[in-house]
Structure 1
Amino acid sequence: MKKLLLATCMTALLSAPALAETPEDALQSRFRAAEALLDANLVKESVPGAAIGIVHDQELIWSHQFGVESFRTNNPVTDDTLFSICSVSKLFNGIAAMNLVEDGSLALDAPLSQYDSGLGMTDNQGSEEPVTARGILTHVAGLPREGTRDYWADNSFPDTAGLIETVSTQEQLYRPYDHWQYSNLGMAMLGDVVGKLSGTNWDDYIDQTIFTPLGMSRSVTDMPFDLVGKGFAQGYYIRSPKGDRNAVEEHSFRAFAPAAGIASSVNDMAKFASWHFRLHEKGGQEILKATTLKNMQRVHWVGADFDEPAWGLAYATRRYGKATMWGHGGYCPGARTEFVMRLPKKIGVVMMVSANDVSPGAMVKTIYALTESAIAKVYNSKAENGTEAAAVNDGAAADKAVNLSDYEGSYAVANYDWDGYVGINEDGLFFMPIFSNDPVKNIENWVHEEGDRFRRKRKDDTLAEAIEFERDATGKVTGLVQHSYRSTKR
C-alpha cells in the first residue's frame, strides 16, 4: 500500500504541467516576498522608519523603504535618508587607521600613548605589552567597554579633553589578549590618534579619505539633527507600555564619533559595499591596498573554545549557516543597523531602523537566506553570458496552463498571525510564513496539479495535501484553502 501511494505521488509530480518562469521572475518574486515580510514585521513592532538594500558587486539591485523619517514631518523614508549607523562607524575608523598604517604614520603594535601621552591608562595587570591599535581594532587590548560614567543614558558624550581625562583615571581590565572585551572607549581613543596623525581631524579625514573617493556624498560623521524629517531619520526609544515612543533628543557623539557617530544612507552604504567587492576582485589600491583590506577581514581573534566573537581588524564575522559574513552591527540611541557582506558571492545587505528595540540582524539574515540563491542564479548567468537571464524553454512557455502571477501576494487568516506570502518559483509556487521564527527554513514549495489546484511538495519530492485557490466572479484570485483553513488574499 505504501509503495502504491508513493508511486501515485511521484506520478502526480512528474505529470504536473511544466511551468516556464525565468530566473529573473523568480528573483523579483523573492524580493516582493521580502518586502511583505519586512512590512508585516515592522508594522507589528511599530517601527517608525526603516530602509534596506541588497548590493550585488557594483550595483544596488534591490531596496525597500518603510515608514517615515519623523512623526513630525511624515516625509517618507527613501534610499537617500540618513540613519544613525551606530557601531558600523567602527569600520570607517578602522579603515582610516589602516590608511595611516600604510603610509607609515601609525604602527599597529606601537603603544597608543606614543601618539598621545594623554591616552596612557593605569595598568595593574602586569601586561606584557601596551595598549595598541591592533589590540583596539580586535577588541582584545584589555580596555574597559566604556568611560567612567554612562554617556549613553543621557547622550552626554565627552569632547577630546573629556576623553583624555576619563582615560587617565581608569585602569585596564585585563592584560592584552587574555580576553575579548568590546570597547567603545578603545575606538574613541584610536579615533583621537587618527585625527592627530592625519594632520587634520577625525571628521575631515574620514570625509576626505573615504566618503569623497567613494562618492558617499550624503554621509556625515555626526548626527545632522538640523535635517530631522528632511533627509535624516529621527531616532526613537523603546515603546512605553502604552505603545508610545519618545524621540531621541538632539546630541553629538563628539569624541565617541569614531565608535558610533556616522550617519549614512542605503545608497551610500551600497557604494561602501561595492568598494569591498571591487578591491577584492581587482586587487591594487583604492583607499587601501587590497592586501590590507583582506588582512583586516582575516580572523585575528577567536576564543580558545570558539565561544567568543571571531574578529578581524575592525571587522566582525557572522555565520549564516555554513556561510561566513563580514561586516558590523550597530546599536545606539534610537537606532539599529546591520551591515553584512558575503565576499565570495559579492552580495551585501544593509538595513537601518529608527528604533532601538528592534534588531535588524534577524531580518537581514532572513532576507539573505530568502534571496541569495536566486541572486546568484541571475547574476552568475549575466556574468557568464553577458546577457539577461534567459527564459526557460521547455516547450511549455507558449501554452502554459496557468499564470503563476495570478496567485502571488500576501494572504492572511482572520484573527490569527498566520500571514504568509505566496511567491513564484521557476517551476511553481512557494509559500513563506511571515511570522515564523525561521520563515525561510519553513518555506513550502507548491506544484501545479490542475486548474487552481496545487500540491505541497515534501522534501523527498513526494506530494502532500492540496491547496485550492479561490477566485471571484471576475476571475481574480481572492484566497486559498489549505488543511481546510481559509486564507484571504490582501
Structure 2
Amino acid sequence: MKTSSNLQQRPSYFQLQTSYFPLRPSYLTLLPFLFLLFLFPNSVLSQNEEKKDYSEAFNLIEVWLDAQKDFDKLPGISAAVIEDQEVLWSGAFGQANKSQPVPMTAETLCSICSISKLFTAVSIMTLYEEGKLRLDDPIESLLPNYDLKQQFPESGPITVRSLLTHSSGLPREANAPYWTGPDFPFPTQEEVNSGLKEQETLYPASTYYQYSNLALTLLGEIIEEVSGQTYDDYVQEHILTPLQMGNTRTELPENLYGSSLAIGYSALDREGERPKVNFFQAKGIKAAAGFSSNVLDLGKFASWQFRLRDTTTAEILKPATLKLMQQVHFMDPNWRSSWGLGFVVYKGASGSTWVGHGGSCPGYRSTLQLDLKNKRAYAVMINAGGTNPNRYSSGIYGILNKVKSGKKADTDIKFEDYTGYYDARPWGSEEYIGSWEGQLMMINLPSRTPADNITLYKHIEGDTFRRVRDDGELGETVVFERNSEGKVYRYTQHGNYVYIMKS
C-alpha cells in the first residue's frame, strides 16, 4: 500500500509551463523581462530552470520505492524531497503498524534518533551567539559536576567544539546498556552523571574521530546549565515553535504509538521476518537520540537552513553561524570522516557540499541530507532496523538527476499502452516499463541504483521500439504484441517473450 502527497505539494504541470511572455512578443512586452534580467539575472534564470516537469521521475520514484519496500521486506518507508522552500515530492509505502494495519504516510512519526543531535547543536550555537559559552570552553567550566577520568596527561581540553565534532576522545556511550534489547534500559540524566566516574577517555582530545552519544548527551546538559531552562523547553522555544515543527518532539509520544507514531520492527531474521521491537524512551540520552518527527517536518528544518544561508537576516541563528556549523571543523587522520559543528559534512560527486545526519534507534532508521549548492534536501524514514535509508535517498537523488530537459517530447505515442510490470523470472524478478521524456523506459526491479538501471527505447513504428545505446546509437529491437482486445500482453526481444504481469 502506498500514499503520496506530491500532487498537493508541487505546482501543476500547467503552472510549471507558464511562460513570461507570449510566443511572438513585441519589444515593449519584453521590457519588463529584460529589466528583471538586468537587475536579478540569477533569480530570473533560476525560475526558468525550475520549469522542468518531474512527473515521470516522481512516478518512477514511487514505482521503485514501492518495489524496494517489498523486496527489502520493509514494514514501511516514508520520504520527501525538498527544493529550497517547497516540498518537491513526498510519499510513503507500506505499514506503520502491521497488526492493525495502519498505512505509512508522509505524516507518520518515527524515532529520528541521532538526527536529534542537529537540534542540540543548533541550540548550543544559539547560546554561543548570546555570548553564554564559547566553542573552546572546556567542559569542566560549563558542567561543574563532570568527573569522567582523563587517562591521557598530554591531552588538550575537551571543549564544546570537540564535543560537537565527535573528536573529544570521550567513550561512544554513557555507562549503561541502553542499546540492549528487549527492553532498552536508557538511563535517566542522574544515572548518566553518576556513571561518569566509572568511565575514562578513549583517546586524547582532538586526536581522532570517535562518534559519541555521550558527548551530545553532555551538550544537552550544558544547554540546561547555561540557559537555566530544561532541555525540552529550550529546544521547543528556540527551534520547534519558530519553525512551526508541530510534529517534532524531544521524545516519542507513547499515546500515539501504533497510530500516528509508527511501530518499530527489527532487522530481518533467518525466516525473513522482522519481529516487533519494544517501545522505548531515550530519557537522559534524548539530546543525542530521543526525538521523533516525520519527513515533512524535517523538510521544514531543511528549508530553514536553505533560507538562512541565502539571507543576511537572523532567524534562530545568524546566517554566518549556520555557515560556520556547516564547514569542516575536524577531519579524522584517515581522511574519511569530516565533521562540522553537529553536522556531518562531505563532498558530493558533482562537487557540491552536502551536510546532514542519520539516525539509528531500536526499530527505526532515518536520514536527512542537504545538497547545499542545489538547495535540495532528502529525508527518509524506515520503521525497521538493519536497513540503510541513505540507499533510498541516493536512489531518489539519482532518478531526479536523470531528468534532462524535463519536458515530454511532442509525440502521439500512447505510452500507457505499454506501461506496467513485466515478469522477468527466472533471470530476474520483474521489469517496469513506462515513459521518459518522449521515449519508452525500462527498469529492472529491485534495483539498488535505479538511475543506473534505466534503459531507454526509441519508437520506430507501430509497436516496435529500439534500444538507445549510451552513445545515442540504436541497438536491438523490441516488439510489443497485443491480444484480441487490443491490449499489450507481452513483448519479444532477441526472439524471446516477456509477459506483462500488471499495469
Identify the TM-score tier after normalising by the shorter chain. Answer: 0.7 to 0.9
Aligned AA for 1:309? S
SS of residue paired to 1:33? helix
1:333 aligned to which of 357, 362, 365: 362
Counterparts in 2 of 1:304 and 1:251: CA distance versus 1, 3 Å = closer
The correspondence for 1:354, drawn from 366, 380, 383, is 383
Match 2:392 to one of 360, 363, 366 = 363
Greater Cα offset, 259-268 or 468-477: 468-477
Q: Tell me the SS of whatever aligns to 1:35.
A: helix
Counterpart in the other structure of 1:459: 470
Q: How has the CA–CA distance of structure 1 residues 171 and 75 changed in structure 2, closer, same or farther, with 3 Å as cutoff?
A: same
RMSD over equivalenced CA pairs, Å: 2.2
For residues 409-440 of structure 1, what are the alpha-carbon distances to aligned partners after superposition, in whole Å with 9 as ceiling and x for unaligned?
Answer: 33332445342332322231222222234322
Please tell me whether residue 321 in structure 1 is matched to residue 349 in structure 2.
yes
In the alignment, which of 223, 241, 258 is matched to residue 194 of structure 1? 223
Equivalent in the alignment of 1:76? 103
Distance (Å, rounded) in 2 between the aligned partners of 1:485 and 1:350: 40
Per the alignment, do residues 461 and 269 of structure 1 end up closer, same or farther by CA in structure 2, a change over 3 Å counting? same
The amino acid of 2:345's aligned partner reads T
Structure having the higher helix fraction is: 1
Match of 1:412 among 400, 413, 423: 423
**C-alpha deviation, 1:471, in angstroms:** 2.9
Matched positions, count: 451
Runs of 4+ in 1 over 6 A off after TM superposition: 22-25
Q: 3-state DSSP class of the match of 1:286?
A: coil
**Is residue 2:167 matched to residue 1:140?**
yes
- The equivalent of 2:493 in structure 1 is 482
> Identity of paired residues, percent?
35
Corresponding position of 1:8? none
Which residue matches 2:13? Answer: none
Query: What residue is the counterpart of 1:31 in the other structure?
Result: 58
Distance 1:373 1:72 in 2: 38
Q: What does residue 87 of structure 1 align with?
A: 114
1:291-440 to structure 2, matched below 5 A, reads 291-306=320-335, 308-322=336-350, 323-372=352-401, 374=403, 397=410, 400-440=411-451
C-alpha displacement at 1:305, in angstroms? 4.6
- The aligned residue for residue 456 of structure 2 is 445
What is the CA-CA distance between 1:72 and the residue it aligns to? 3.2
Give, as a single letter, the amino acid of the residue that structure 2 aligns with 1:73: Q
* Cα distance change, pair 177–164 in 1 and its aligned pair in 2 (3 A): same
Q: Tell me how far apart the structure 2 counterparts of residues 95 and 482 of structure 1 sit (CA, whole Å).
A: 57
The CA distance in 2 between the partners of 1:122 and 1:188, in whole Å, is 17
**Distance in 2 between residues matched to 1:481 and 1:317, nearest whole Å:** 48
Structure 2 residue ranges without an equivalent (≥5)? 1-16, 18-49
The equivalent of 1:256 in structure 2 is 285
Q: Distance in 2 between matches of 1:449 and 1:218?
A: 51
Tell me by how many angstroms 1:487 deviates.
4.2
TM-score with structure 2 setting the length? 0.85
Pick which of 38-47 and 180-189 moved more.
38-47
SS of match in other structure, 1:104: coil
Q: Distance in 2 between matches of 1:325 and 1:477?
A: 44
User: 1:32: Cα distance to partner?
Assistant: 1.2
Normalising by structure 1, we get a TM-score of: 0.87
Unaligned runs of 5+ in 1: 1-21, 379-389
Q: 1:40 aligns with which of 41, 44, 67?
A: 67
Distance 1:220 1:312 in 2: 24
Q: Distance in 2 between matches of 1:321 and 1:83?
A: 30
Larger relative contact order (Cα-Cα within 8 Å, sequence gap ≥ 6) = 1
- Relative to structure 1, the CA distance from residue 259 to residue 470 in structure 2 (aligned partners, 3 Å threshold; closer, same or farther) is farther
Q: Please say which of residues 424-433 and 458-467 is displaced more in the overlay.
A: 424-433
